[in-house]
């Protein structure tokens, strides 16, 4: 066999590093939405509102509320749900501070500041369940007022920042696809 007849095995391309969870579950779906024609402006508004709804200091309503807002504003429901559910950890972490600040706003700060299970039992024994409901209701109402006030500038900030980011990502992706 001559040297020219020997077969050289083909060289395999270098293996790509595995994609991270964040890339697979967050970045790629958002990029896919941009590729399918969702404008950067609509996607930025969707993500901004999804983050805001995901931080609401009331448990159990984020999924329904974000779907309703997305449908009403004709935004992408899946992207809004993704942004909303990514905020779950932060929602839980901010729930007690929001409730305490809300109680303070509604004039119940001294009763909620050092609230424990023992003090709740004492309140139930002396004043009944209605007193606990009233206390927590006022704290929740104050928390929702604080949340609403804080989310207006947050959504505006996220919209303007993400709009620029999504435009650049779309432009970069479009130029890569054209080459």
| Domain range summary for the chain, segments of one domain joined by + | 22-178
The tokens for 149 are 């006030």
Least confident of 46-50, 147-151, 160-164, 170-174: 170-174
For the CA atoms of 47, 49, 50, 52, the dihedral, rounded to the nearest 10 degrees, stands at 120
- pLDDT tier for residue 70 given thresholds of 50, 70 and 90: very high
Check pLDDT > 90 for residue 29. Answer: no
Q: What is the pLDDT of residue 143?
A: 94
Q: Of how many residues is the chain composed?
A: 179
Q: What is the pLDDT of residue 34?
A: 77
Q: What is the mean pLDDT of residues 152-172?
A: 94
- pLDDT tier for residue 2 given thresholds of 50, 70 and 90: low
Q: What is the mean pLDDT of residues 29-38?
A: 80
Q: What is the mean pLDDT of residues 56-68?
A: 95
Distance CA 148, CA 158 (A): 15
How crowded is residue 32: how many other Cβ atoms within 10 Å of its Cβ? 12
The tokens for 27 are 């970045």
Q: What is the pLDDT of residue 48?
A: 97
What predicted TM-score, i.e. pTM, was given to this entire model? 0.77
Contact 147, 53 (CB under 8 A): no
């Amino acid at each position: 066999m001559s040297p020219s007849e020997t077969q050289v095995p083909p060289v395999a391309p270098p293996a790509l590093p595995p994609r991270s969870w964040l890339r697979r579950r967050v970045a790629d779906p958002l990029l896919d939405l941009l590729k399918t024609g969702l404008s950067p402006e609509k996607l930025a508004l969707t993500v901004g509102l999804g983050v805001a709804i995901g931080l609401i200091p009331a448990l159990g309503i984020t999924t329904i509320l974000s779907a309703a807002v997305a449908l009403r504003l004709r935004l992408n429901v899946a992207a809004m749900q993704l942004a909303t559910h990514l905020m779950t950890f932060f929602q839980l972490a901010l729930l007690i501070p929001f409730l305490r600040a809300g109680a303070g706003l509604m004039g119940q700060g001294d009763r909620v500041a050092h609230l424990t299970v023992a003090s709740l039992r004492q309140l139930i024994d002396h004043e009944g369940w209605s007193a606990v409901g009233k206390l927590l209701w006022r704290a929740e109402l104050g928390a929702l007022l604080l949340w609403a006030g804080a989310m207006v500038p947050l959504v505006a900030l996220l919209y303007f920042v993400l709009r620029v980011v999504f435009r650049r990502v779309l432009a970069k992706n479009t130029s890569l696809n054209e080459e």
